[in-house]
Amino acid sequence: MSSSAVPTPPIADRRPTTAEHHGHARVDDYEWLRDKEAPEVLAYLEAENAYTQERTAHLADLRQSIFEEIKARTLETDLSVPTRNRGFWYYGRSFEGKEYGASCRVPVADPDDWTPPKPAEAARPDEPALPGEQVLLDLDALADGHEFFSLGGSSVSPDGTLLAYSTDVVGDERFTIRVKALDTGELLPDEITGVLGGATWDRAGESFYYTTVDESWRADKIWRHRLGSSQAEDELVHHEQDGRFWVGVGRTRTDRFIVIASGSKSTSEYRYLDADDPDAGWRVFADRREGLEYSIEHAVIGGEDVFLVLHNATGPDFELGTAPIAPTPAEQWRPLIAHDPAVRLEDVDAFAGHLVVHQRSEGLTQLRILELASPGEGGEGVSDDYLVEFDQEIYTVGSASNPGFAQPVVRLGYTSMAVPSSVYDYDVRTRELTLLRRAPVLGGYDPADYEEHRLWATAEDGERVPISIVAKRGSREDVGGGTGPVPVLLYGYGAYETSIDPYFSIARLSLLDRGAAFAIAHVRGGGEMGRRWYDDGKLMRKQNTFSDFVACARHLIDTGWTTPDRLIAEGGSAGGLLMGAVANQAPELFGGVVAQVPFVDALTTMLDASLPLTVPEYDEWGNPEDDPAVYQYMASYAPYDNVAAIDYPPILAETSLNDTRVLYVEPAKWVARLRATAVGRRDFLLRTEMAAGHGGVSGRYKAWHDRAFALAWILDRMGLADRSV
């Protein structure tokens, strides 16, 4: 750290308000910071930003170095692997010096050839990458004049003539849909505002469906827009009245069905519209039943049209069944892949000749192929059932963009902590796996220079918790030829059954090449080890998430991977709640904590049903407003409520003013209370992006600068700020 005098941090006024719940008085000194329109609140956030900049001024050169390293390793002018859909190959382009890039397409030259076209040589930004290139969207042009820009979605009409796309230029995830005529490049007069996500075309391409949110930012309505009409004339197709449920809309790969999903954290209901029989109207496939989760996909098996039903009616890790094209109760679903407690079935994609099942076992992702028999072959219509195999110890594999029902190949993505993102085509006919592209890492990168491992920590209750870790080969060697401790960045999330699977990061190389290691703690609350892993880390068992992360930290220390002063913890959103909790419960284990858009004032949020996302979150955290036991349990771990007069490790909290998911006020209040309460070092920084949303800043160069800021702070805490790569 700098030897100059430490600047004085901003001190938020204490303006206590008291609320009583279930006989407990709860005093909050900093709730006044919630009014983001108030000049005094904005002034406070700006003062925190100025303080953070001053405290980290000595890292300015390191931040710039990290940014330049990320930039130097990235192929800035690039082309994605084209994806075939109907009569075109679609792909994205990026250009040196530009933030967002462009989406393009070229016509399919040979209908029988599924090999994606490749450019003969690297094309200049002002040249087509492939012969016959058509630029569908120039994202940099759309972003021009806006400090923030995000593309919510883009969808080409089934006949290939129209493009519906949505944009957000504020960061609040409320998008505007426009429609572009692809033959002329002109925009149609249609303009739909206040949309969540993008548009779903009907089969005829004469109208599209979209989703809007209510006052609490819950997706509650599905609308149909007919081209040429005004938004005021749009048809309300479905309104979800239950505050715990979200809605979404999509079209099956076969184009036959429009499907509306209604779902809470624990219950599902699907309705469908058959383009072959539109007069039948919308039909509910299976009425919602508390605790029953399912999804449907149209398939043709043995010559018969069926719905594939992925469901938990027979067990928590899901079964794949079939049902006729008609409303069908769970008792009549026929098993295709029976429930297996060792295998969590997560999704299924249906194609004309095969099914692709996404599953996981022992913490690793898997792709399973079910080849479909021709009519009359028997075997429930399946002729073979097998996994696509890979050799690495830890990896992540998943199906990529596969829009064509008749396609004979499966496009898949593969990565590990050392292997850059890779795109393969798996030809089901020949069972050949072809590497189409591995994301380039410039400067002579070799995955063999890095070692990655799966470790297992033991939690308080005896549960084994997986850890994925990567380090540069040889970084742990000490002068005596043995292995010694290295600085480690330990990442965690642990909520919503979201799995943080092993992944590659160019930015992370700036840590690894300076001698640090990076690890992921696959804690309960996530989905890495199946549904029970999630169930054991939510509601009244949420403490398992925190104790698992602490167990992973202790394991890395006890096994000699690192030492507490050089172990840095990082997490964002619900993972930010994790960071706040472990900072309260085990501050002695960490040399620093990075909390990004952290959900640290969870109890206040869950006590207010008018706030964004609160009611749909009851199935994840509980309802402390109605249930005294939930109130007491959440109060026992909520980071803001448990700030204590202890010596915390240094903390960097990062947030965004326009975040609609985790409001900026949560980390602002948290840092204010930490400053007022903690003893010892009291080293707390709050950094607020004043023009960004939940995902942070927009644009790749801005995002690289943003990540360089955090990485420089992390390296400083690790004692590696002066080490070059």
Q: Distance between CA atoms of 592 and 584, rounded to whole angstroms?
A: 13
Q: Distance between CA atoms of 523 and 113, rounded to whole angstroms?
A: 44
**Token pair listed for 211:** 């989703």
- Are residues 247 and 221 in contact, defined by beta-carbon separation less than 8 angstroms? yes
Q: Distance between CA atoms of 288 and 277, rounded to whole angstroms?
A: 24
In angstroms, the Cα distances linking 213 to 222, 486, 609, 691 are: 9, 47, 15, 22
Backbone φ and ψ for 480, nearest 5 degrees, come out as -90, 0
Which neighbouring-strand residues pair with 261?
A: 248, 270
**Coil, strand or helix at 567:** strand
- Are residues 590 and 552 in contact, defined by beta-carbon separation less than 8 angstroms? no
Single-letter residue type at 75: L
Burial degree of 337 (CB within 10 A; 0-12, 13-18, 19+): buried
Single-letter residue type at 160: G
**Coil, strand or helix at 532:** helix
Q: Distance between CA atoms of 373 and 303, rounded to whole angstroms?
A: 9
Single-letter residue type at 646: I
User: Residues 6 or more apart from 460 whose CB is under 8 A from it?
Assistant: 547, 551
- Spatial strand order of the sheet with 304-311 comes to 294-301, 304-311, 319-323, 334-337
Find how far residue 511's CA is from the centre of its chain: 22
- Other C-beta atoms within 10 Å of 479: how many? 6
- Are residues 270 and 261 in contact, defined by beta-carbon separation less than 8 angstroms? yes
SS3 readout for 276-343:
CCHHHCCEECCCCCCCCCEEEEEEEECCEEEEEEEECCCCCCCEEEEECCCCCCHHHCEEEECCECCE
Candidates 499, 491, 480, 555; CA nearest to 517 is: 491
User: Residues 6 or more apart from 401 whose CB is under 8 A from it?
Assistant: 83, 411
Q: Distance between CA atoms of 245 and 306, rounded to whole angstroms?
A: 27
Q: Distance between CA atoms of 321 and 314, rounded to whole angstroms?
A: 10
Q: Distance between CA atoms of 626 and 313, rounded to whole angstroms?
A: 29
Q: Distance between CA atoms of 132 and 178, rounded to whole angstroms?
A: 25
Q: Is 487 left (phi over 0), alpha (psi -120 to 50) or beta?
A: beta
Residue 361 is inside which H or E element, if any? strand 354-361
Q: Distance between CA atoms of 22 and 489, rounded to whole angstroms?
A: 40
- Are residues 354 and 373 in contact, defined by beta-carbon separation less than 8 angstroms? no
Q: Distance between CA atoms of 693 and 686, rounded to whole angstroms?
A: 16
In angstroms, the Cα distances linking 480 to 78, 476, 483 are: 45, 11, 8
- Specify the length of the chain in residues: 725
Residues tagged active-site: 573, 659, 694
**Token pair listed for 494:** 């642990």
Candidates 23, 9, 22, 33; CA nearest to 640 is: 33
- Are residues 227 and 188 in contact, defined by beta-carbon separation less than 8 angstroms? yes
- Other C-beta atoms within 10 Å of 212: how many? 20
- Other C-beta atoms within 10 Å of 397: how many? 22
**Token pair listed for 6:** 């430490």
